[in-house]
Amino acid sequence: MPTPLSRRAFGLTAGLALVATPLSGCSFFDPTVHGSAVRNLPRPSPTPEQAQVNALAGNESLTAALQVLRTATGATPAEVAWTTAVQRALQLQRRVLLRPDPLSGALGDDPMASGSPRTTGARVPAVRATDELATLATAEAATLLTVALSAETGPDALLWGSLSVFASASAQPAPHPPVDHGVVPFSFESESLGSAQSVLVEHLFRADQALAALVGALRPGSLRTQLAQRRGLLVQQRVDLQATMRAAGATPPPPEPGYELPIRPAAGTVAAVMATIETDLFNAAAGVFCATPATDEARTAAHAAWLTQLPQVTRWTGVSWFPGWV
């Protein structure tokens, strides 16, 4: 069996010294990754940029809309749990945005933190609250995406793209609340687009193998059919990406002869396996997004591919508080 490889597309191992809670354990798929975190990277430290000010205002509005849903008439326990988790994530995002350098990898106290906001006025029906949340979150995601599309390649693009994707994930209650992976955005050494695409290709190869094992372990039925279809889509995605890389003069990585699978694909492990598969693909797509030059229209397409992966993740697990950074 090959040796398990580094998971993070941008030197997470070195970057873990910068996060609040270290990550550990073995990922289902760990493709070879090049790039290293840059500690104490010199950055300007004046007043926050206007984009941060705008994002903080959007964060506050989104938090308030979630509170309306949280206390709405007819809100289910699952909706209350989901909104509470999203509000906690937004609070951490707020603390990051309040820093003069949001990529410092460190956090200070939020001087404006006062717990969950209180809802004033009459409670509204949950259906109405959900509709209003969807409208606000979609608009906020678009605003953040505008910043992300013009941001400098690397950590800046990943930060704003991550905030935009999370806002999209907050548009409506998901089956699983978002997950705190203990990650705070940090500066890292950007990698080439070809390298980021290679990481995604490797994840797609490994997903193909795992899905094949899952399909083989399941009895005929709707879930087996769905997973077989998902495998076909991912194979086509890999073929298309390989063709794109070759057209650009890059050489896609070949499949490895075998992979070490910490979780045995079986009928009882479908959710755990799929959660890891889809999350790894999600993070690899984020890597392609932030490695794509801002002047290239391909960054818009890379964002669309990243966002398309979102519902595949939330079907099986919660999205990270900072999507793409895990």
| Residue 63: Cβ within 10 Å count | 20
d(CA 91, CA 89): 5
Question: Tell me, what DSSP letter sits at residue 18?
Answer: G
- For 283, residues 6+ apart whose C-beta sits below 8 A from its C-beta are 8, 9, 323, 324, 325, 326
Q: Are 323 and 159 in contact (CB under 8 A)?
A: no
- The values of phi and psi at residue 164, to 5°, are -65, -45
User: 248: helix, coil or strand?
Assistant: coil
The four Cα atoms 206, 297, 9, 279 give a dihedral, to 10 degrees, of -50
Structure tokens belonging to residue 19: 């996060």
* Alpha helices in the chain, H assignment, sequence order: 12-15, 50-70, 77-97, 126-150, 155-169, 193-217, 222-247, 270-291, 298-314
Find the distance separating the first CA and the last CA of the chain, reported in whole Å: 25
Q: Give the separation between CA 89 and CA 92, rounded to whole angstroms.
A: 5
Phi, psi for 186 (deg, rounded to 5): -145, 165
Q: How far apart are CA 226 and CA 229, in angstroms?
A: 5
Low-confidence spans in the chain with pLDDT less than 70: 1-48, 108-121, 259-262, 296
Displacement of CA 138 from its chain's centroid (Å): 16
| DSSP, res 6 | -
Give pLDDT tens digits for 43-61. Answer: 433 345 899 999 999 999 9
Tell me the per-residue pLDDT of 134-166, one tens digit each, with 9 for 90 and over: 999 999 999 999 999 999 999 999 999 999 999
